[in-house]
Structure 1
Amino acid sequence: MAKIETSTVDTSAVLLGNNDFETGLLAAVPANTIVKAGTYLKRDGEKFAVLTNPASEKVVGIVPFDVENEKSSVADVPFRALIAGRVRADKVLLNGNKPAVEQLDMLRACGIIPVTVTDVSQTA
């Protein structure tokens, strides 16, 4: 019998569909830093900011694609925030970590629905 080989291709895509976005600024991104796709966001006045304390801050969206500050100092970076729609539950990040179930519920409360996805690969 021939040996079957499989491979997994991870596209790192967060978005699944029915998505709504809001154009804005991501506040105070550190110099030469990338804010990863799937990162929870809060409001900072008229701007967005990375959510750091889920117990006291309200989620208003997530970063749909990596956002990079290419400057050598802290800066506000223009981007589009995901404010509603369906996302992969395994791709969202809270403080750089996978969120717990109750933290996924915080997304549902703001109109973002995290969905568990099972990847299927094809072999030849």
Structure 2
Amino acid sequence: MRGLDLKAMAVDQLVERFIEICLGQDEALLDDDLAKFRRLFEQMRAVLDELKSRPDDQRTALIALYEHPNIQVRLKAAKNTLAVAPAEAQEVLEAIKASQWYPQAMEAGMCLRNLESGLFEPS
């Protein structure tokens, strides 16, 4: 992500970057490329931190991705909006879990279990 000034990007540009990262993660999962996935995870974290730091916590812009055609985009959008739209995000996670589309269904199920047990608290 060198060369990208996240602070200078508009919210819609950050959302587009989030989508690109998720699609890259999906590809890395299919290719079993853990190193690439980890790099993309760090890039996603930077985008999310920037969105969260904006007035009124702009992670809410990711809610529009609940209907994205790619399951990895939907999964990451839902997980990363649990703090700002808990009921809606949990619905998306439930649907992904029920889809049995792995590995995303497993990640959604683990997230829901950790929420229910209190092990995970969205912030």
Same fold (TM over 0.5): no
Task: Give the strand-richer structure, 1 or 2.
Answer: 1
| Band the TM-score falls in, shorter-chain normalisation | under 0.3
The TM-score, its normalising length taken from structure 2, stands at 0.28
* Structure with bigger RCO (C-alpha 8 Å, 6+ apart): 1
Task: Give the helix-richer structure, 1 or 2.
Answer: 2
Bigger CA radius of gyration: 1
